[in-house]
């Protein structure tokens, strides 16, 4: 299916389903574009056109297809960001080229105590902003997620931090199935767009704070006594 950015119809699932991983909840899988978008100048597109694309699903989907159009051999990509919410620790998107879908998911509080998080390849990226790259040409038992990606066909995995939010770093990951992995030119292109991606992600995160507080249960609203404490905590967390 070929659509123009901004016209993607996003169906809502009636009931979110919880996966076998206790703290991971998939909200939906949405159809995306179906062919690379040539043209280059992706950082400029992010800064000029990105703010006019309301849906984060659409924005991330088009970004990935534009990278493919710029000869970056993407196969899988994810975006993770923490949120201020009483039940949800973080939200994310997962783009899958072969399925032509973008999955929208939630990470619940308590996930940081699990082996999935402790053994995550992007833990240092989330906590300290450290870039991470690993070729997947051999088993990686120290990172179970990467071993699963390798067995599914992935050959190279690269993670970069965006601008810090709530003392943690939103993180974007890129994976390829090209036999020889990402080239130096591919990595350079992914690094080149990172400041623009970080800028637009930060703007959306600020909007998301308001949405998260608006959707919070009544005892956590800003006008309540608990809400006032929450507002103080928010100031401390972002200082």
Tell me if 193 is assigned to some domain: yes
Tell me if 9 is assigned to some domain: no
CA–CA gap between residue 159 and residue 24 (Å, rounded):
20
Tell me if 3 is assigned to some domain: no
Tell me if 1 is assigned to some domain: no
Tell me if 10 is assigned to some domain: no
Are 173 and 136 in contact, with CB atoms under 8 Å apart? no
The burial class, CB within 10 Å (0-12 / 13-18 / 19+), for 123 is: middle
Q: What is the pLDDT of residues 117-175, one digit of tens each?
A: 788 999 999 999 999 999 999 999 999 999 999 999 999 999 999 998 777 899 999 99
Tell me if 212 is assigned to some domain: yes
What range defines the domain where residue 153 resides? Answer: 17-238
Q: Please give the tally of structural domains in the chain.
A: 1
CA–CA gap between residue 105 and residue 107 (Å, rounded):
7
What percent of the chain is predicted at pLDDT more than 90? Answer: 56
| Confidence (pLDDT) at 212 | 45
Tell me if 11 is assigned to some domain: no
* 172 closest CA partner among 30, 85, 67, 60: 60
Q: What CATH number has the domain bearing residue 117? A: 3.30.450.40
| Confidence (pLDDT) at 89 | 73
């Amino acid at each position: 299916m070929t659509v123009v950015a901004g016209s993607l119809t996003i169906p809502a699932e009636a009931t979110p389903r919880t996966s076998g991983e206790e703290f991971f909840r998939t909200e939906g899988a949405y159809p995306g574009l179906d062919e690379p978008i040539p043209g280059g100048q992706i950082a400029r597109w992010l800064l000029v056109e990105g703010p006019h694309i309301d849906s984060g699903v659409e924005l991330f989907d088009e970004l990935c297809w534009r990278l493919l159009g710029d000869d970056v051999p993407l196969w899988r990509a994810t975006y993770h960001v923490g949120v201020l919410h009483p039940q949800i620790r973080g939200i994310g998107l997962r783009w899958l080229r072969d399925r032509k879908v973008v999955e929208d998911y939630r990470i619940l509080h308590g996930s940081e105590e699990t082996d999935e998080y402790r053994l995550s390849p992007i833990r240092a990226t989330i906590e300290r902003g450290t870039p991470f790259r690993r070729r997947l040409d051999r088993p990686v038992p120290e990172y179970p997620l990467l071993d699963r990606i390798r067995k599914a066909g992935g050959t190279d995995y690269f993670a970069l931090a965006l601008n810090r939010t709530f003392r943690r770093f939103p993180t974007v990951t890129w994976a390829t199935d090209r036999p020889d992995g990402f080239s130096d030119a591919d990595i350079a292109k992914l690094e080149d767009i990172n400041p623009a991606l970080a800028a637009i992600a930060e703007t959306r995160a600020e909007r998301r704070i308001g949405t998260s507080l608006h959707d919070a249960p009544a005892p956590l609203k800003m006008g309540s006594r608990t809400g006032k404490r929450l507002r103080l905590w928010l100031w401390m967390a972002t200082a």
